[in-house]
Amino acid sequence: MSVAGTYEIVTKTPMGDQKSVLTIEASGDSFTGSNVGQMGSMDISDGKIDGNVLTWSSQLTVPMPMKLDCKATVDGDAIAGAVTAGMFGSFALSGTRIG
């Protein structure tokens, strides 16, 4: 099964649970897309696919500018992984494919 799709995800952050919609558009061993939530929209950059493991970066602008490094595993319609936010550490993310 392809990792491409739309996922409703929750990231556990110090500011509480952040709900968003992650869209993955796969092309070979790379992907593009976006993550849209309460804090706005972030484009995916450097998206890489290794089997069912995804790695990517996004640029957060609110509440402060920061690069986010993400890694997640897709298992059927489930996605789980972590978001690393520089000196703030890593936060768990999980979700379900909705499209």
Q: Give the mean model confidence (pLDDT) for residues 59-82.
A: 93
Q: Give the mean model confidence (pLDDT) for residues 46-50.
A: 97
Separation CA 95–CA 14 (nearest Å): 18
Q: Name the token pair of 94.
A: 């999980």
Q: What is the pTM of this model?
A: 0.92
Identify the H or E element spanning 13. strand 5-13
Instruction: Please report, in angstroms and rounded to a whole number, the separation of the first and last CA atoms in the chain.
Output: 13
pLDDT of 34 reads: 97
Q: Within 13 Å, how many C-alpha atoms sit on residue 80's CB side?
A: 3
| Mean pLDDT estimate for the chain | 94
Separation CA 97–CA 52 (nearest Å): 14
Please say whether the beta carbons of 82 and 92 come within 8 A: yes
Q: Name the token pair of 31.
A: 């992907």
Structural domains in the chain? 5-97 (2.40.128.20)
Give the percent of the chain with pLDDT over 90. Answer: 81
